[in-house]
Amino acid sequence: MYNLLKGKRGIIFGALDSKSIAWITAERAVEEGASIVLTNAPVAMRMGTINELAEKTGAQVIPCDATNVEDLEELIDSAVKILGGKLDFVLHSIGMSVNVRKGLHYTEEDYDYTQKGWDVSALSFHKLMSVLYKKDAMNEWGSIIALTYMAAQRVFPDYNDMADNKAYLESIARSFGYFFGRDKKVRVNTISQSPTVTTAGSGVKGFGGFFAFAEKMSPLGNATALDCANYSITLFSDLTRKVTLQNLFHDGGFSNMGISDAIMDDFMESQHNEQNPS
């Protein structure tokens, strides 16, 4: 504990259960001295265990569908009232693809599903920031973060339309981040996180495979949900005031690797087995 967020106020979106990156970030933020409000979609409240987290962190829970601007307006007004002042940080930890859920291949997208997933996973970030901006609800030198994945830059075939959603999300961070920085001195960044075992993560086809692959490829191994939470805490703190408009890779080095010894060894072994069937 470093008291990095002493006296700061924030909203955490997306804590579904104890595996959620948002759940662990909420715990860490409070350990670091912050007061928080928790929020999630009304349907997730029924499925998840967010009240347990609320009790643990002394936080109030306000339901909000992040695609609904009215919900967002009510959430921001209530959070400012409950926390006793403007906000210092916000975590957008939200993602969902209906095409992925329904098992539709990328080449066979249902465009109504695509639009829904885009609204939840990407456009909601614009809606959230627009409400925060118009209500002037962020303190100067505040920090806003959304979570993303490297499929926004490189091909991971089973990540499906979430790859496109993440590319859009990262672009919103830069575009809105300009206005938030210029007008309100607020930072906006995305963290591009390693594959992490959560409800959203494990829902992606072949997740086990690319989790294990990334682990072997990355010199430091995959970043865990706790590692991600800790990184977010530094970005919410006053120690990173001039970091903005960035997509920050938090992946044990994966994004700059070409090949690792461990992956090469596996490949050579399978080549050997192919050539010498027993």
Ligand X SMILES: NC(=O)c1ccc[n+]([C@@H]2O[C@H](COP(=O)([O-])OP(=O)(O)OC[C@H]3O[C@@H](n4cnc5c(N)ncnc54)[C@H](O)[C@@H]3O)[C@@H](O)[C@H]2O)c1
Q: Find the shortest distance in angstroms from Cβ 133 to ligand X.
A: 19
252 contributes a contact to ligand X by CB under 6 A: no
**Residue 73 and residue 132: Cα distance in Å, rounded?**
8
**Residue 235 and residue 244: Cα distance in Å, rounded?**
10
Q: Are 144 and 130 in contact (CB under 8 A)?
A: no
Q: Find the shortest distance in angstroms from Cβ 185 to ligand X.
A: 26
Q: Are 193 and 201 in contact (CB under 8 A)?
A: no
Query: E strand or H helix at 101, and its extent?
Result: helix 98-101
In this structure, the dihedral spanned by the alpha carbons of residues 35, 13, 221 and 167, taken in order and rounded to 10 degrees, is: -140
Q: Are 150 and 156 in contact (CB under 8 A)?
A: yes
29 contributes a contact to ligand X by CB under 6 A: no
Q: Find the shortest distance in angstroms from Cβ 14 to ligand X.
A: 4
66 contributes a contact to ligand X by CB under 6 A: yes
Among 5, 11, 44, 233, binds ligand X (CB under 6 A): 44
193 contributes a contact to ligand X by CB under 6 A: yes
14 contributes a contact to ligand X by CB under 6 A: yes
Q: Find the shortest distance in angstroms from Cβ 68 to ligand X.
A: 8
Nearer to ligand X, 57 or 67 (CB): 67
40 contributes a contact to ligand X by CB under 6 A: yes
* Tokens 């339901």, residue located: 63
Task: By CB under 6 A, name the binding residues for ligand X.
Answer: 13-14, 16, 20-22, 40-41, 44, 65-67, 93-96, 120, 147-149, 193, 195-196, 198-201
